Amino acid sequence: MQGFSALIVPLIFGGIILFGILRGVKVFEVFMEGAAEGLALLGKILPALIALLTAVGLFKISGALDLIVFALAPTADFLTVPKEVLPLGLMRPISGSGAMAIYTQILSEFGPDSFIGRVASVLEGSSETTFYTIAVYYGAVGIGKLRHTIPAALSADFTAMIVSVITVKLFLGG
Amino acid sequence: MNYVFAGMILIALVVGIVSGRWQEISNACLSEGQKAVELIISISGMICLWSGVMKIAERSGLNEKIAHLLWPLTGRVFKGLKKDGKALKAISMNMTANLLGLGNAATPLGIMAMKELYEEENCDGRATNRMVSFVVLNTASIQLIPLTSGALRMAAGSTAPFEILPAVWVSSLCSVVIGLFMAKLLGGKNPIEASGRGRK
């Protein structure tokens, strides 16, 4: 499993470049265009990340995070989710930068290759910022009545959290 | 977001003072911002590399190819929409952009899709079942490469940042399936169709 995963990234990378050349795309110039866009995107994330890493960092150092983790521990055990990952699961639907900050904090405390680190990684990679997306998409067409959007969307986020644990145990041996 | 941010900081300050950790708190106020900058720098290599490659994919028409492959699937999820209609096309393109991790492209395409859905269906200011399904599809991400997650793993020193790939695929897939299932389950009939009004 692990060897296969390592191959995927270079394969996709090479495949796309090959496809581009075959289609007559000026791959180098286009690449730079895309990379510049990536840079701009990072520049946009930076202020939010500074704000949120500071907030989450303070939250962690003050011990408030530990309090919350402690309070949520029974719920986490009930769901078989590691209790340290629960704050990420809760923040994820609410804020992308906030989730990124909590995720970073989990990675630095527990290491990316630990069980907790891996579960957090899978969770971060398999869900999206729910409320923001809802606001943007419905706002664009002026729809006010959301009906069952939020419950359905949250069920997806919830599933991601539970399945993250299962898949890490299955594929990466916990 | 304002409340989350302010709330976190204020609670942290209160708890910190109460537990006597004001020295650490004071240090953290300044050092955490620095960490953010270092973090962004450490992931920028991978992010820019990938943005570049994905731009090539976009330019070479890969998006259209994949969207084409997805039509049978999107057609089934959004039953009843005109086969070659604009809505279905926009939805496929949006899903493809999400799949390839092109967040910037996905959002305008998604908005376009919402507008098309708004035109094709009579909805009276309320979300139609198809709109709900579409939004749920977007909030439960399916990405081929979870770039942010992987890049941050690499920055944190992982020996195999993308070993999580199969796990992420399975997890994303499950969350999308459940999300769509719940959308269908809770949807019932479109409110306008149920009441018998509307141009359908």
Q: Tell me: the pLDDT tens digits for A115-136?
A: 999 999 999 998 888 888 888 8
Residue B171 is predicted with a pLDDT of: 93
Average pLDDT of A47-53?
Answer: 83
Kindly state the average pLDDT of the residues A65-87. 84
3-state SS, residue A145: strand
* Per-position pLDDT tens, chain B of length 200: 677 788 888 888 888 888 887 787 888 788 888 888 888 888 888 888 888 888 888 888 887 888 788 878 887 788 776 666 777 888 888 888 888 877 777 888 888 888 888 877 766 778 888 888 899 999 888 888 888 888 899 889 888 888 888 999 999 999 999 999 998 888 876 655 444 444 43
Contact B52 A95 (CB under 8 A): no
- What integer pLDDT is reported at residue B17 of this predicted model? 83
Chain B residues whose CB is inside 8 A of the A108 CB are 156
B48 neighbors A39 (Cβ within 8 angstroms): yes
Q: Where are the alpha helices (DSSP H) in A92-148?
A: 96-110, 115-125, 130-141
ipTM over 0.90: no
Query: What pLDDT is stored for residue B41 in this prediction?
Result: 87
Q: Which of A46, A62, A134 sits opposite B139 (nearest CB)?
A: A134
pLDDT bin (cut points 50, 70, 90) of residue A174 is: low
* B61 phi-psi bin (left φ>0, alpha ψ -120 to 50, beta other): left
What is the helix (H) or strand (E) element at residue A170, kind and residue range? helix A149-172
Position B200 scores a pLDDT of 39
Interface list for B 67-96 with A (CB within 8 A): none
Report in angstroms the alpha-carbon separations of B8 from A44, A49, A107, A174, B86.
22, 14, 20, 31, 44
| Alpha-carbon dihedral A87, A145, B176, B44, rounded to 10 degrees | -60
Tell me whether A7 touches chain B (CB under 8 Å): no
Cα separation, A74 vs B144, whole angstroms? 34
* pLDDT value, residue A1: 47
CA atoms of B188 and A82, how far apart (whole Å)? 36
Number of H helices, E strands in chain A: 8, 0
User: Distance, in angstroms, between A74 CA and closest chain B CA?
Assistant: 22
pLDDT higher at B109 or A165: A165
Prediction pTM value: 0.81
